[in-house]
Structure 1
Amino acid sequence: MPSPLNRTFSVAPMLDWTDRHYRYFARLMSKEALLYTEMVTTGAILHGKGDYLAYNQEEHPLALQLGGSDPKDLATCAKLAEARGYDEVNINVGCPSDRVQNGRFGACLMAEPKLVAECVDAMRQQVSVPVTVKTRIGIDEQDSYGFLTDFVETVSAAGCDTFIIHARKAWLQGLSPKENREIPPLDYERVYQLKRDYPQLSISINGGVTSIEQAKTHLAQLDGVMVGREAYQNPYILASVDTELCGKPAVVSSREEVIGKLLPYIGKHLADGGRLNHISRHIIGLYQGLPGSRAWRRHLSENAHKPGAGIEVIENAIKAMELTTN
């Protein structure tokens, strides 16, 4: 049976965006959303100088997304992740960038389902937390429904019962990663069909979701919805997840309450030698669509990166916003 983690709503792994500061901020607005790290390569974890598995305990439930294709290395990293307390380990079979392809992982692995199955099997032998796969509906000219089901059948036979499907195919040549998130057309019906044909699997959908109402439409057919850019650029959407999608009490009642809860975290980060813009860059979209949001964004963008910038920059950004709306 699929794992007991609540997959109703998750925030997609996004390189340079879903770092531990963003995830702490996101958790202030939703207890129920499943959060994902940025993709971390096995090479970085095994041979890098930094601690690529660091996170705040408040971020749970939290999944680590790994990039790699060597079963032994992935198994080792999965074991390290479980020891550090991650709730899930996910394999990236969806990223189309040249750098990722050169490392033989990401979306190009869709063409090697047996290798992905070997990776899943090796990881599952080492950990008890869920091992999941995030993938596309196809790559290049290999975009038939049969290609997708062959991949899912092969990988699920190795014990993977949870798939997150970005409902676009990826062009491995000719399109940038950004273009691959926008140009190939979305095909939600194909993901719905996958769930109908494999009801025993947990199937979540990713791609193009920009509202709670859209999420509800998908959840009528699927087990979960993963949201990327909207959850970053308009993060207060997370404040509706627990009540609207999960039937749980709201965590916060206002954006101001979110800021109030975030300030002590910012203060500690600054006291530890961190810079304000490590965190402030993630909150620029908090007032998205509201009067004064431009003044908020401008003040943060112009001042948070300056040496010695402190909490007063956040407070003054709020004042600047209020001045434009009064």
Structure 2
Amino acid sequence: MTRFRSHRFSVAPMMDWTDRHCRLFHRALTSQALLYTEMVTTGAVRFGPRERLLGFSSEERPLAAQLGGSEPEELAEAARICEGFGYDEINLNVGCPSDRVQDGRFGACLMAEPDRVARGVAAMKAAVSIPVTVKCRIGIDDQDPEEALDRLADAVVAAGCDALIVHARKAWLKGLSPKENRDVPPLDYDRVFRLKRRFPDLPVSINGGIGSIEQARALLEPRDGVTLDGVMLGRAAYQNAELLLAVDPLLFGEAAPHADARAAVESLFPAIEAHLARGGRLSNFTRHMLGLFPGRPGARAFRRLLSEEGPKAGAGLDVLRAALDLVGDARPSAVAAAA
């Protein structure tokens, strides 16, 4: 069974957030994390503008493509296309609770159809040579999380699934919005540890409510003799991307790619210049940087300048340089502690 060292830490796929510009920014902060695309539907992969949807730069790797879909043949075709683009992993979304994915019969509603998920996994495994993984919830609505997660895991493991990433909350498809589904259902980390105990040879990663690299490291410690294989951060990694500088030192025992967030941003200047030369906007990059420098003198002015000037036609690197110059130079405490 394939085991990526990078499964030890990953940044979650997040709609409207983890595009190629965001991923390049995150890669400047951690060389070891496994990154994910936004969820892309099988229909979009098969019939949409593939280069725009799936294109990426080699610097983003290791990189997984997350698919949304439920028809085995369509999943297999989409997986082949993604493999052709050079992705390192195909991940099937069995956790998104939005109305749109429910209408399309994919995402979290597939927790109720483990056999269908298994058929999709088996079809993708037969179609590609790279790992096929599943990201799921512990259950939906009135399901018993013990039974629901075990049924799904049994089915997909039998189909050849290479790893499970478990968001340790239920998804309530009726009565809660997608935003509420990220906060309201209670977290149950112990349920993920029980799953790992049941499948000791299956790589299992945990996701949901993890707010720091220190907390991530704690979740990778043995619990009652069980050790998880990986941790996935979502909103915390996006909204406070500076914490990603601590990933390589604290979780992999290696130096961060850059000494601080300013140096990481400056390393992106050539990529940003090339993007601007192709007709792109500065804000395609800088909108992902607004959470930098929390609590630092000048952080508010940094955000305001990028928010107001970054989206304007013709905005260039001079805007980003001016914004960086507004911020104090203190290093992130987590990186300093790990150095």
| Contact 1:120–1:158, Cα closer than 8 Å, also in 2 | yes
In structure 1, the gaps of 5 or more residues are none
How far apart, in 2, do the equivalents of 1:280 and 1:209 lie? 24
Residue 189 of structure 2 is aligned to residue 183 of structure 1:
no
2:252 aligned counterpart, secondary structure: coil
How far apart, in 2, do the equivalents of 1:217 and 1:274 lie? 41
How far apart, in 2, do the equivalents of 1:227 and 1:49 lie? 29
How far apart, in 2, do the equivalents of 1:123 and 1:236 lie? 35
Residue 111 of structure 2 is aligned to residue 105 of structure 1:
no
| Contact 2:296–2:327, Cα closer than 8 Å, also in 1 | no
| Contact 1:39–1:92, Cα closer than 8 Å, also in 2 | yes
Partner of 1:14: 14
Which structure 2 residues correspond to residues 105-184 of structure 1 after superposition, within 5 A? 105-184=106-185
Matched to 2:211, the amino acid is T
Calculate the aligned-residue CA RMSD, in Å: 1.3
How far apart, in 1, do the equivalents of 2:270 and 2:239 lie? 23
How far apart, in 2, do the equivalents of 1:240 and 1:23 lie? 17
Q: Which stretch of structure 1 is more off in the superposition, 131-140 or 75-84?
A: 75-84
Shift of 1:77: 0.9
In structure 2, the gaps of 5 or more residues are 222-226, 330-339
> What is the percentage of aligned positions where both structures have the same residue?
57
How far apart, in 1, do the equivalents of 2:49 and 2:268 lie? 29
How far apart, in 1, do the equivalents of 2:21 and 2:308 lie? 20
When residues 319 and 144 of structure 1 are mapped into structure 2, their CA distance, relative to the original with a 3 A threshold, is: closer
When residues 322 and 194 of structure 1 are mapped into structure 2, their CA distance, relative to the original with a 3 A threshold, is: closer
Residue 258 of structure 2 is aligned to residue 252 of structure 1:
yes
1:27-48 Cα deviation digits (max 9, x unpaired): 1111100000000000111112
Partner of 2:271: 265
How far apart, in 2, do the equivalents of 1:143 and 1:17 lie? 32
| Contact 1:78–1:127, Cα closer than 8 Å, also in 2 | yes
Partner of 2:305: 299
Partner of 1:311: 317
Normalised TM-score (structure 1): 0.96
1:132-169 Cα deviation digits (max 9, x unpaired): 00000000001331221111111111011300000000
Residue 235 of structure 2 is aligned to residue 229 of structure 1:
yes
When residues 180 and 145 of structure 1 are mapped into structure 2, their CA distance, relative to the original with a 3 A threshold, is: same
Shift of 1:5: 4.6
How far apart, in 1, do the equivalents of 2:172 and 2:192 lie? 18
2:313 aligned counterpart, secondary structure: coil
Residue 23 of structure 2 is aligned to residue 23 of structure 1:
yes
Normalised TM-score (structure 2): 0.93
Aligned length: 323
| Contact 1:299–1:320, Cα closer than 8 Å, also in 2 | no
How far apart, in 1, do the equivalents of 2:145 and 2:94 lie? 17
Partner of 1:33: 33
How far apart, in 2, do the equivalents of 1:259 and 1:59 lie? 15
Partner of 2:58: 57
Matched to 1:285, the amino acid is G
